[in-house]
Amino acid sequence: MAKYSKLQVIRAITETGLVPVFYSPDLETSKKILKACYDGGVRVFEFTNRGDFAHEVFCELVKFANAQLPGMILGIGSVVDPGTAALFIQSGANFVVGPLFNPDIVPVCNRRLIPYFPGCATPSEIGAAQQAGCDICKVFPGDVLGPAFIKSIMAPMPWSQLMVTGGVKPTRENLEAWFKAGATCVGMGSHLFPKDVIAAGEWNKISELCAETLEIIKSLR
């Protein structure tokens, strides 16, 4: 069962502007990453469903966050069907993210008041998701669509709340382009978690990168 309400999740995402996106089949590595992000000021984290038994790792992460990381809101990503959404909601997901928009996922999330952030790449997909009740739409793949897409959507649909994911980098230049275009927040994966840093176990560097990224976002608003 989700620990945080739909309003709490959306408020945390819109206030911080950053959702780290990460997957590892190794529980201890995942815990270290989650703690490093938390120490860097992150309060919303997306663990992605990208491997066998990902739900087992996720269950333990939820227990870890609830016990040791007060205020950390954990959600699940890479969800493409309602059955998977239900599995992770039962495992404690506070929000559900997908690379695409599947309208069959909407009632599963709505029934439990869980936010669903679907992946959208056209105005029609965004409009359909909004009509279904999705408060925030994930613009994906961000590096393919670009900031100009965000700006073009916000002109005729200024009420939209868009989370850009895919190719987002923790640099002022990159972040400024997205937020100037009108993005509500960004999802950031590999650029926030350098492989060499993880291999060396230099968790403090990830904390520093998270803190720097949050500070840049704050200065851009």
Domains of the chain by range and CATH? 6-216 (3.20.20.70)
Give the span between the Cα atoms of 71 and 165, in whole angstroms: 23
Strands 185-188 and 137-139: unpaired
- Quick one: pLDDT at residue 216? 98
Query: Are 184 and 13 in contact, with CB atoms under 8 Å apart?
Result: yes
Q: What is the per-residue pLDDT for 124?
A: 98
* Residues 201 and 26 sit within 8 Å (Cβ to Cβ): no
- Residue 188 bridge partners (DSSP): 20
Element (H, E) at 187: strand 185-188
pLDDT at 152: 98
Strands of 73-77's sheet in order across: 116-117, 96-97, 73-77, 44-48, 18-22, 185-188, 162-165, 137-139, 119-120
Find all residues with CB under 8 Å of 219, minimum gap 6, and list them: none
Which pLDDT value is given to residue 170? 97
pTM, two decimal places: 0.97
The reported pLDDT for the residue numbered 75 is 98
> What token pair was written down for 34?
């989650």
Q: Give the H or E element holding residue 163.
A: strand 162-165
Low-confidence ranges of the chain (pLDDT < 70): none
What is the pLDDT at residue 77? 98
